[in-house]
A = this chain, B = another copy of it.
Amino acid sequence: MESLDARPIGVFDSGVGGLTVLRALHEQMPNENLLYLGDTARVPYGTKSALSVQRYAEQAVLALLSRRVKAIVVACNTASAAAMDTLRARFTQLPVLGVIEPGAKVGCQMSKSGHLGVIATEGTIQGGAYTRAITQLRQDARVSSVACSLFVALAEEGWVEGDLVEAIIERYLAPLKAAPELDALVLGCTHFPVLKQAIQRVVGERVVLVDSAATAAAECDQLLRQHELRLATQQQGKIHFMVTDGPERFARVAKVFFPCHLSAEQVEVVDIQHFHPQFEKNEKEGLTLSQGSL
């Protein structure tokens, strides 16, 4: 079911990586308005405690709600791993989607052998969220994980192709290439889709790459339809960017991830419930926030 609900979809990440998810959302649903929040003041989340990440995620959602979004996409693997339960329990008034469940689901569908690979940052791999999500969906699954700590820096530096990049990828993925059964590889970090072609060349065509940005976008489309929130218009949606620090660096690095020039608004993310008691009240009473515009 489609609707006239032009409120944006709120997307947040600790920094620029979530832009791959934003891009996939825009490609999947070109007419939806999108509002991106990069918590660049507190990036990276990967080295913070789960409790801190939960608090940051709640604050990001509150900041997006204050701009009247109709759904939330947590475009950050660390926050998806640490905070999905907290966010869903607290924000019951709108759909909240992460990147791990959709990636794990499509990975399980794509693998014939049941032997999947997962590559991500050190924090995501150590937390084990992908392995848990995959084995919950498919009990016979075998998961081989590799932390690829240099990939984020490669992606942000714009080094996404060429012999040197492939040599670096090769060094990380050699153990996965040596596993003859492994036939699906989940890109468990939102930075990694920009390295997709180079990764594919290294692992070869027998391994299907599962881009967790694209799978999250498809899942979001479905979820909006279920909630009758999918906008019915032919008009191109608008995209607005917010960051908590360094809008210039964000705009510069974002070029690698998002194919057009953008400018970002700098915002403060604070423990909003302390300052806007009205929010807490609305939230507790389950009130729907009124419709706004970008």
Measured CB to CB, the residues of A under 8 A from B are 40-41, 43, 47-49, 52, 122, 149-150, 152-154, 156-157, 159, 164, 167-168, 171, 245-246, 249
Contacts and interface: CB of A to CB of B under 8 A. Distances in A.
5 tightest A-B CB contacts, nearest first: A153-B153, A150-B153, A149-B157, A164-B167, A47-B246
Nearest to A172: B157
Contact of A41 (B43, B48, B150, B246): B48
A156 B44 CA distance: 15
A159 B150 CA distance: 10
Given A47-B249, A49-B245, A150-B150, A168 B164 contact: yes
Nearest to A156: B149
Nearest to A163: B167
27 contacts: A40-B47, A41-B48, A41-B52, A43-B47, A47-B245, A47-B246, A47-B249, A48-B245, A49-B245, A49-B246, A122-B249, A149-B153, A149-B156, A149-B157, A150-B150, A150-B153, A150-B154, A150-B157, A150-B159, A152-B153, A153-B153, A164-B164, A164-B167, A164-B168, A164-B171, A167-B167, A168-B168
Which of A40, A49, A157 has the most chain B CB atoms closer than 10 A to its own CB? A157
